[in-house]
Amino acid sequence: MAKTVRVGVIGTGGIATRQARRLAELDDVEIVAGCDVSEENLRKFAEKYEVPHTFSDFNEMVQLEEMDAVTVCTPNYMHKDPTIAALKAGKHVMVEKPMAMNAGEAQAMVDAAEQSEAELTMGFQFRLAPEAQAIKRFVDEGRLGKVLFARCQALRRRGIPSWGVFGQKELQGGGPLIDIGVHIMECAHYLMGEPKPVAASAQIFTYLGNREPAAAAPWGPWDWKTYTVEDLAIGIIRFDNGAVMSVESSFAAHIKEDVLNCQLMGEEGGCVLHPPTIFADQAGTMINIEPHYVGKYQAMDKKIEDWIGRVRGEVETQCPAIAGLHVQKMLDGLYASAEAGKEVPIE
């Protein structure tokens, strides 16, 4: 591969604009192609980043010889096909969270990567944040002992997106659980050491998003007439090592304020992610350890740097595809349990 990494972007609106900013800042990285069904999004993207090749069909874009890697920034229902097409064409791929609409699609993506010489990387930035990396070092040193429980919270008081297809289950796969819950779930699972999930139990509720708003919302009015996802999801995941994870996620809930955090409880200590704090017993005293400085960088930037480093073969990614598959199986289990009204196994 040439020293310069030549990147194509599939889906040039939304998160792609944030990724592209960092890609454009990096030395020896060029954005050489963009693909979008929206002519307006594609035109603006190509003009801003001086992208020489534009496409409306990802199948055509992935055949571009002067391209080494592809980042997939489409809505959830369009993660699988572009990823597999790019891998088959020998292009390295990073796919945004969640990995896919369901675990079956995610498995097909992992299989395609195994059959390709190219690498598949997950767009999981929460685990790369300086706070998470600091906590991870404590965990890896055994400061928490065996982790018994993780509490994940991704709660918005009124944070239903007023753009995109976030309220349409057939295009997103679900609501806050698969959209924002996935962030804190993948981070907590990473901090726990990524045990194998074996069972899920959950309930989901829709009570605000599917009716005309009763109060002004920070992001403006959403399309409540097409809203088919949950407002609130509450669940439990059991793992093969006996550990348990609880999940609370909402687009709309009657709470005081938004929460995005996770907490771990272990046999020898515990921790919370924000602000990063360790809870332990030392010298006959219960103590709280608050790091003075954990580093300062943007997790999104770190995600891009991690991926480019993997494409160059310089590092092993901290966001492998298998992590995306594990989280997808947990999401599937939670939704399946809510539908069945009982705990379900995770295969």
3-state helix, strand, coil in the chain (%, to 5): 35, 25, 40
- Can you tell me the mean pLDDT for 200-219? 96
pLDDT digits (tens, 9 = 90+) for 262-280: 999 999 999 999 999 999 9
- Give the model's confidence band at 42: pLDDT under 50 very low, under 70 low, under 90 confident, else very high: very high
Task: Decide if pLDDT at 101 tops 90.
Answer: yes
Please state the pTM of the whole predicted model: 0.95
Handedness of CA 172, 176, 182, 183 (dihedral sign): positive
Residue 3 confidence (pLDDT) = 81
Say how many C-beta atoms besides its own lie within 10 A of residue 85's C-beta. 22
Judged against a pLDDT cut of 70, whether residue 2 lies above it is answered with no
pLDDT of the residue at 85: 98
Instruction: From residue 336, give the alpha-carbon distance in Å to each of 102, 206, 332.
Output: 11, 16, 6
**Closest alpha carbon to 288 in 299, 278, 296:** 278
CA distance 167 to 281: 45
DSSP string over 54-93: EES-HHHHTT-TT--EEEE-S-GGGSHHHHHHHHHTT-EE
Report the mean per-residue pLDDT for the chain: 97
Lookup result for tokens 């297809």: 165
Name the residue ranges covered by the structural domains of the chain. Answer: 5-118, 129-298+328-345
The listed CATH number (3.90.25.10, 3.40.50.12170, 1.10.260.40, 3.30.360.10) that belongs to domain 129-298+328-345: 3.30.360.10
For the domain made up of 5-118, give the CATH fold: Rossmann fold (3.40.50)
Handedness of CA 238, 347, 303, 229 (dihedral sign): negative
What pLDDT is attached to residue 223? 96
> What is the mean predicted confidence (pLDDT) over 141-158?
98
Please give the structure tokens belonging to residue 257: 């304020």
Q: Is the pLDDT of residue 1 over 60?
A: no
Assign 229 a pLDDT band (cuts: 50, 70, 90): very high
Distance CA 320, CA 327 (A): 12
Question: What would the pLDDT profile of 281-302 be if each residue is shown by its tens digit?
Answer: 999 999 999 999 999 999 999 9
